[in-house]
Copies of this chain bind each other. A is one copy, B any other.
Amino acid sequence: MSQKAKTAITPTRAENFPEWYQQVIKAADLAESSPTRGCMTVKPYGWAIWENMVGIFDLWLKEYGVQNCSFPMLIPVSFLSKEAEHVEGFAKECAVVTHHRLEADPDGNGLRPAPEAELEEKYVVRPTSETIIGDAMARWIQSYRDLPLKLNQWCSVLRWEMRTRIFLRTGEFFWHEGHNAFADHEGAKGDCLHVLNLYEKFFTEYLAVDGYMGVKTPDERFPGANETYCIETMMQDGKGLQACTTHDLGTNFSKTFDIKYQTKDGGEALCHTTSWAFTTRMIGALIMMHGDDDGMIMPPRIAPQQVVILPVLKGDNDAGIMAYCSEIAAQLKEKGIRAKVDEREMRTPDKMWDAIKKGIPLRVEVGGREMEEGVVTYVRRDLGRESKTTQAREEFVAGAIGVLDAIHDDMLARVRSFRDVNTHEGQSLGDVIAHFDKNKGTGFMKVPVAVLKDSAFAAVTKDLSLTTRCMPFVDDGQTVLIAKAY
């Protein structure tokens, strides 16, 4: 047997994928579990990814005419009662606010909710904001002139989850929630598809992520939606992950919250509403789609830091080397590249491994030889530790954006290739059983939609822990993708 190469992350993906995932998060210093049950603390390096995502996508939403605003984080329980179907879904498990004061516990055990401060109207921390925004829309929309009304908020929401995993499923998570109102079905459907296309553009152009765009089967729709559109991505363990959704809510919420408008001819009509989101789950997806056994690999265009410059100091002209590094960083920054010299008090190999585990796309190493010869040695994180290139400094600086673009393109190509190779074709429920039984098969299986009508479908998929991910557009809704999923 060949000797196993040392990896920065233990266990490897092949050994234990879920544990590898947790270890990558820790090694990259992205986030940690918090003292609040099921909630995460997102550390600076992790939060910077989210900020970069928000910065880009928010501009696109604004170009599309969406207006940001802010609704209260607490929603009166009576609002949830109004939307019974909604409540049947996920809204039951949430954080319920019942009191408005703490007082010293007479038992001497710290603090307790003051019994006389019990609220008559209870609240929940928003699990999503359809209800409170619907209530506002009913007041804000009077006439056809007020339509379309396109609102969005960037915020966190909270759902009380029993089994949590950082980024993938946490009590509190971060997202944007768009809530739009239109005069008719065409407007609402067009909105769902337009935003879905924005998501795909964002995923492919910035996150180096691609999946299957499609429509959910009725069972998998958002409660209260007439249609749910989505992009379904595939992780390196072959499981699916829903990367985003857009919901055509028809007039369901309009009826409940009385969102009406006066038509041009003086009549009255119900609005057609939509909602859509992507969340901090996407950071989890980035890890599970791009990471390797040495840790994270950041897609360059969203990477908090795109280039790290490591000075290799040996006590001989260290100041000169540091100055050379700083000049290179300044030149890269001038080109709009997020570059930084690692000046920390730390051994060079430790810095190198830190950069690897954090997945910084491009690592530049500069020692005395590089400085004297006016060159740099760089390593592409995605190609691994041994892929060193030495180049004249000016040539490197001039080509750095191109190298980052190449990393992006290669990462996206790898993700697409993995998706394609791991999407299997089947014709019947029997094929599904044959592929996934006894945990042998992984990836997605694509079968004709007729398989959904098989009377054993529900029992079989439940038994094998499978879900229908979507009916991909690429097959005009004639097929359905089946997979295990996060």
Known: A42-B70, A111-B81, A135-B35. A96 touches B100 (CB 8 A): yes
Q: Which of B41, B69, B87, B103 lies in contact with A71, CB distance below 8 A? A: B41
A323 interface hit (Cβ, 8 Å): no
Whether the Cβ atoms of A172 and B103 lie closer than 8 Å is no
A378 interface hit (Cβ, 8 Å): no
- Complex Cα distance A94/B74, Å? 12
Interface string of A26-45 (1 = CB under 8 A from B): 00000000111101111110
- Complex Cα distance A101/B93, Å? 4
Interface size class of chain A, counting residues whose CB lies under 8 Å from the partner chain? 35 or more
A167–chain B nearest beta-carbon distance, Å: 12
Whether the Cβ atoms of B110 and A77 lie closer than 8 Å is yes
Whether the Cβ atoms of A103 and B113 lie closer than 8 Å is no
A67 interface hit (Cβ, 8 Å): yes
A317 interface hit (Cβ, 8 Å): no
Residues in B neighbouring A95, C-beta threshold 8 A: 74, 97, 99-100, 123
- Chain multiplicity (copies): 2
A97–chain B nearest beta-carbon distance, Å: 5
Whether the Cβ atoms of B102 and A77 lie closer than 8 Å is yes
Whether the Cβ atoms of B34 and A71 lie closer than 8 Å is yes
- Complex Cα distance A260/B297, Å? 33
Those of A80-110 within 8 Å (CB) of chain B = 80-81, 87, 91-103, 110
Q: What residue in chain B is nearest A153 (Cβ atoms)?
A: B47
Whether the Cβ atoms of B132 and A113 lie closer than 8 Å is no
Whether the Cβ atoms of A101 and B42 lie closer than 8 Å is no
A47–chain B nearest beta-carbon distance, Å: 5
A345 interface hit (Cβ, 8 Å): yes
Interface string of A110-148 (1 = CB under 8 A from B): 111100010001111100000010011000000001000
Known: A93-B100, A97-B96, A102-B94. A172 touches B44 (CB 8 A): no
Known: A47-B68, A69-B42, A124-B102. A111 touches B87 (CB 8 A): yes
Whether the Cβ atoms of A145 and B78 lie closer than 8 Å is no
Known: A69-B42, A87-B111, A103-B92. A74 touches B172 (CB 8 A): yes
A412–chain B nearest beta-carbon distance, Å: 28
A23 interface hit (Cβ, 8 Å): no
Known: A40-B72, A75-B36, A172-B74. A94 touches B101 (CB 8 A): yes
Whether the Cβ atoms of B87 and A91 lie closer than 8 Å is no
Whether the Cβ atoms of A160 and B111 lie closer than 8 Å is no
- Complex Cα distance A327/B362, Å? 44
Shortest 10 CB-CB distances between A and B: which pairs?
A: A81-B110, A44-B67, A39-B72, A36-B72, A96-B99, A100-B160, A42-B70, A96-B113, A95-B97, A98-B98
